Amino acid sequence: MKRAVLFLITVYASVPVILYLFPWILGHIIFAHFLRFPYFLDLGRPEDVLNHTCNFYLNTEDGVSVGVWHTLPASQWEDAPGKGPEWYRETLGDGRPVFIYLHGNGATRAMNHRVELVKILSAAGYHVLSLDYRGFGDSTGEPSEAGMTSDTLYLYHWVKKQSRGGPVCLWGHSLGTGVATNTAVKVQEQGSVVDALILEAPFTTIGEVVANHPVTKMYMFLPGFESLLWSILEKNNIVFANDKNLKTLTSPLLVLHSKDDDIVPYNMGLKLYQISLQTKKEYNTDVPVEMISYSANLGFSHNSIYLDPNLSNVIGKFLQNLRQ
């Protein structure tokens, strides 16, 4: 008994020491890209989980190849069987909205709740491009905030070139919301504006999610632990500052957040929504800025907003407002 207690105390006490000595570990925990589930699925064969989908790779940078799934809108389903990547690429010019789906940490573009959302968007009549950032899934390289953002920016421009005027929207979930707003800031710096941003379960900054985690909370009373955490994030160049980004972004915005989210607290989504309303005022624009809140009793939590039976109507209405 005494030994077990001593062991537990040692494990507990060694965590801050290990983080201090090996700061990259925190980056690995945040990205969790080494968790490649579903493990027994060949990402080169999307048809095992998604119909009307083509797998391809883009070289987003010298030596970095990222895997992407393109799922067609319902209007193109019938024509799809037997078609190759070139045909799929051509369809992006059909004027229908294109969603670039930016997934959260851990696992791959084949993870169940990601695939379910893609199915809904596809059935609602949209193209979806779902990518695994560098270091995730079958993509090469190592993840970093700057690298994941630059992969997405590359894909965004690639899609824009094919899409001939149809709206290209960024849909970020969880960690992907940070990638989405980073990318939108880059696009704005280049002199244009992303057609629409949809942020599902977004956070203010990733540091605040880490600080809010139950495991972290067990250490927060230790003097210096919190500042250790922030300094490690800084050393790793991991910020994902949605709050700061939204102070300058003038894209149409839709925030989706469930009140029972146990990973990213609902208040963070609400705060971002308020920041965007403020930005809209300051820039004197009339772009749509909306938030849908899901009550806790629906049980959607962090990963299951796709279960909202009305989701495709919500998205449809939001896109309709863009055109006005």
Ligand X SMILES: *[C@@H]1O[C@H](CO)[C@@H](O)[C@H](O)[C@H]1NC(C)=O
- Which residues, other chains included, contact 4 with Cβ-Cβ below 8 Å and sequence gap of 6+? none
What residue type is assigned to position 43 of the chain? L
Q: Which is nearer to ligand X, 35 or 123 (CB)?
A: 123
Per CB under 6 A, contacts with ligand X among 242-301 are none
Q: Which is nearer to ligand X, 26 or 50 (CB)?
A: 50
Distance CA 192, CA 251 (A): 10
Out of 122, 139, 174, 276, pick the active-site residue: 174
User: 302 catalytic, yes or no?
Assistant: yes
Distance CA 252, CA 184 (A): 11
Q: Which is nearer to ligand X, 298 or 314 (CB)?
A: 314
Fill in the per-residue mask, 30 to 59: x = in contact with ligand X (CB under 6 A), - = not in contact: -------------------xxx--------
Question: Smallest gap, in angstroms, from Cβ of residue 76 to ligand X?
Answer: 14
Distance CA 127, CA 125 (A): 7
- Total interface residues for ligand X by CB under 6 A: 7
Distance CA 285, CA 265 (A): 29
User: 174 catalytic, yes or no?
Assistant: yes
Q: Which is nearer to ligand X, 59 or 310 (CB)?
A: 310
Q: ω before 46 within 30° of 0 (cis)?
A: no
Question: Any contact of residue 112 with ligand X (CB under 6 A)?
Answer: no
Fill in the per-residue mask, 300 to 319: x = in contact with ligand X (CB under 6 A), - = not in contact: ----------x--xx--x--
Distance CA 319, CA 197 (A): 11
Residue 284 has a CB neighbour count (10 Å cut-off) of 7
User: 261 catalytic, yes or no?
Assistant: yes
Beta carbons of 263 and 209 less than 8 angstroms apart: yes
* 3-class secondary-structure state, position 64: strand
Question: Any contact of residue 320 with ligand X (CB under 6 A)?
Answer: no
Question: Smallest gap, in angstroms, from Cβ of residue 308 to ligand X?
Answer: 8
Catalytic residue IDs = 174, 261, 302
In the complex, the residues that contact ligand X under the rule CB under 6 A are: 49-51, 310, 313-314, 317
